[in-house]
């Protein structure tokens, strides 16, 4: 620093000005310096071009004579800089300029420094418009990225008013407020993933990423690179630029290890290491990256059993199972079937673009007595199928699959008896049609209306059941 002041003091004024020109000429931004008498002592080529005069005609002249609108006299008098001021030049251009007084050690003005930061305000306008557009686009991408990386579901997405579900939700809500690892257990299709999303969304990490990996769906030899990533050229077939692993992607947020019970033992060891060391190392890499992410794991396997069979590491189990959430199967909360069915009808009607809002009591009773081995996922499928089957706004019993209609909760139905059950249904159908035909004096149009089927379909059934309809 002392060098800088010392050197400047040794320079003659002429040399100093020469140096300034040498510095500012190569710069394409218009720059000017005036002395305290507002005489131009330096003007770079860019500024001279901008004003449209040769430099020799400007140097040494009072700046007011070159540019009558100049505010340099005020800046020098008031010793106050003006930043990004709008200025109309004699050449008719409106620009944005800085004017800065240069003070000596005693605070007295020695020079005035000026530069044009935008030589055409229309350009600035365009830049601002472009920026606005880019900001808008950025917001859309950020939203998209959030929905791709983020957790979609909240507590409201988890439908169920049964006491058992209320209890599970309240445990999960408490877990959300801690930063402990969570293990969610329950049969397939019970909504474990919904719980994982809701916990993340209600946690302090809600703003961070939510990264899901299904440990059972990814081939064993790819799982490691999915979880930990790899460096360039780590193995044959590796992407040139390498790959970021799920743990790194989840940094600052939550990683959801779905189907953890199916994770191979060697990978369990590696996960345990990440949990203990809180850092990951990419395959083929030689540096570790610190990781701050919460783990939510889920499984439909009996982990205690897997531990006994030496298929799951006990130490990993304890690390993951800090908070345990057990999502009950649907058969243990049959009181939720009605609300779930209605909400699913609403949701699926919307996505299928077919408005179906009612379900008959018979059809609903049938759903309530079924045991739902596939849980809510199965109910979702059944409701979707029924919406597709119905021609009205109502789901009726005949829109449900036969295996649900045939289900008898008090009796174990053997597959072989299903034919006779179907036969029984046929018998009931035949008797009902016959009764109806008799009641309307064999008027087929009236009978079809009462039975809620088309005339063609009635004729087909008369034919099928060999009913004497004359
Ligand atoms: N309580 C619920 N309310 C509304 N929808 C639910 C509920 N539980 C589950 N679902 C729906 O059921 C389907 C299965 O849920 P989810 O994938 O969360 O189950 P899972 O227990 O994680 O299953 P798996 O063990 O097979 O991965 C999803 O479409 C989900 O939206």
Mutation to probe ligand 1, out of 169, 216, 377, 381 (largest number of atoms < 8 A from CB): 377
- Residue pLDDT, tens place only, 103-158: 998 899 999 999 998 877 777 777 777 887 788 777 777 666 666 666 788 999 99
Please report the pLDDT score of residue 242 as a whole number.
Answer: 82
Mutation to probe ligand 1, out of 156, 186, 194, 380 (largest number of atoms < 8 A from CB): 194
Asked if pLDDT for residue 7 goes beyond 50, the answer is: no
CA distances from 201 to 159, 198, 311, 359, 437 (A): 17, 5, 32, 33, 59
- Residue pLDDT, tens place only, 297-308: 999 999 999 999
* Alpha carbon distance 339, 4 (integer Å): 80
Asked if pLDDT for residue 470 goes beyond 80, the answer is: no
Distance, CA 324 to ligand 1 centroid (Å)?
18
- Mean of the per-residue pLDDT values for the chain? 87
**Angle, alpha carbons 46-52-55 (nearest 5°):** 65
195 closest CA partner among 225, 162, 153: 153
Mutation to probe ligand 1, out of 172, 184, 376, 380 (largest number of atoms < 8 A from CB): 376
Please report the pLDDT score of residue 139 as a whole number.
Answer: 75
In this structure, are residues 315 and 309 in contact, taking their beta carbons and an 8 Å threshold? no
Distance, CA 307 to ligand 1 centroid (Å)?
26
Nearest CA to ligand 1 atom 24: 188
Distance, CA 312 to ligand 1 centroid (Å)?
24
Asked if pLDDT for residue 408 goes beyond 50, the answer is: no
CATH number of 333-457: 1.10.8.60
Nearest CA to ligand 1 atom 7: 191
Model-level ipTM above the cut of 0.95: yes
The tokens describing 206, both together, are 């809600």
Asked if pLDDT for residue 254 goes beyond 70, the answer is: yes
Distance, CA 266 to ligand 1 centroid (Å)?
29
Tell me the mean pLDDT in the region 421-447.
82
Please report the pLDDT score of residue 329 as a whole number.
Answer: 96
Of the candidate CATH numbers 3.10.129.10, 3.30.300.30, 3.30.450.20, 3.40.50.11540, the domain formed by 2-118 belongs to 3.30.450.20
Give the SS3 label for residue 452.
coil
Asked if pLDDT for residue 8 goes beyond 80, the answer is: no
- Residues 6 or more apart whose CB falls under 8 angstroms from that of 282 comprise 228, 229, 230, 231, 234, 242, 243, 245, 248, 289
Tell me the mean pLDDT in the region 60-64.
93
Asked if pLDDT for residue 2 goes beyond 70, the answer is: no
The whole-model pTM stands at 0.61
The pLDDT confidence band at residue 11, using thresholds 50, 70 and 90, is: low
155-328: CATH topology? Rossmann fold (3.40.50)
CA distances from 241 to 128, 225, 257 (A): 35, 14, 26
**Positive or negative: CA dihedral 297, 302, 305, 309:** negative
Q: Find the residues whose C-beta lies inside 6 A of ligand 1.
A: 158-160, 186, 188-194, 258, 298, 300, 376-377, 380
Q: Where are the domains of the chain?
A: 2-118, 155-328, 333-457
Nearest CA to ligand 1 atom 16: 191
Tell me the mean pLDDT in the region 18-45.
93
Distance, CA 194 to ligand 1 centroid (Å)?
6
The tokens describing 272, both together, are 């345990």
Please report the pLDDT score of residue 1 as a whole number.
Answer: 37
């Amino acid at each position: 620093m002392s060098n800088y002041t010392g050197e400047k003091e040794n320079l003659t004024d002429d040399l100093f000005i020469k140096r300034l020109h040498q510095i500012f000429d190569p710069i394409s931004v218009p720059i000017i310096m005036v002395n305290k008498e507002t005489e131009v002592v330096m003007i770079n080529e860019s500024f001279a071009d901008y004003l449209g005069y040769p430099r020799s005609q400007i140097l040494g002249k009072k700046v007011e004579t070159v540019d009558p609108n100049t505010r340099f006299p005020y800046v020098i008098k008031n010793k106050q800089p003006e930043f990004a001021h709008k200025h109309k030049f004699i050449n008719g251009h409106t620009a944005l300029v800085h004017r800065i007084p240069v003070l000596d050690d005693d605070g007295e003005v020695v020079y005035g420094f000026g530069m044009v930061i935008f030589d055409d305000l229309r350009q600035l306008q365009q830049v601002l418009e472009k920026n606005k557009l880019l900001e808008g686009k950025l917001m859309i991408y950020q939203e998209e990225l959030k929905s791709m990386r983020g957790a979609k579901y909240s507590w409201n997405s988890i439908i169920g008013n049964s006491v058992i579900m209320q209890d599970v939700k309240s445990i999960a809500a408490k877990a959300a407020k801690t930063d402990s690892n969570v293990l969610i257990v329950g049969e397939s299709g019970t909504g474990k993933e919904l719980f994982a999303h809701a916990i993340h969304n209600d946690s302090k990490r809600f703003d961070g990423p939510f990264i899901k990996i299904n440990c059972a769906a990814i081939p064993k030899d790819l799982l490691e690179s999915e979880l930990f990533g790899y460096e360039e050229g780590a193995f044959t077939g590796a992407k040139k630029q390498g790959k970021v692993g799920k743990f790194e992607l989840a940094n600052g947020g939550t990683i959801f290890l779905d189907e953890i019970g199916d994770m191979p033992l060697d990978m369990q060891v590696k996960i345990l290491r990440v949990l203990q060391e809180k850092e990951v190392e990419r395959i083929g890499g030689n540096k570790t990256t610190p990781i701050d992410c919460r783990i939510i794991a889920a499984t439909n396997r009996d982990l205690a059993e897997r531990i006994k069979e030496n298929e799951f590491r006990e130490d990993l189990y304890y690390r993951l199972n800090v908070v345990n959430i057990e999502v009950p199967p649907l058969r243990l909360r049959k009181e939720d079937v009605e609300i779930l069915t209605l909400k699913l009808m609403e949701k699926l009607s919307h996505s299928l673009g077919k408005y179906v809002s009612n379900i008959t009591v018979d059809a609903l009773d049938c759903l309530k007595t079924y045991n739902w081995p596939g849980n809510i996922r199965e109910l979702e499928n059944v409701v979707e199928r029924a919406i597709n089957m119905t021609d009205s706004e109502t789901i009726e019993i005949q829109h449900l699959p036969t295996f649900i209609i045939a289900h008898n909760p008090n009796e174990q139905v053997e597959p072989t008896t299903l034919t006779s059950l179907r036969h029984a249904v046929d018998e009931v159908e035949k008797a009902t049609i016959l009764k109806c035909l008799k009641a309307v004096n064999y008027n087929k149009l009236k009978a079809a209306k009462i039975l809620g089927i088309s005339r063609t379909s009635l004729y087909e059934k008369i034919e099928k059941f060999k009913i004497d309809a004359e």
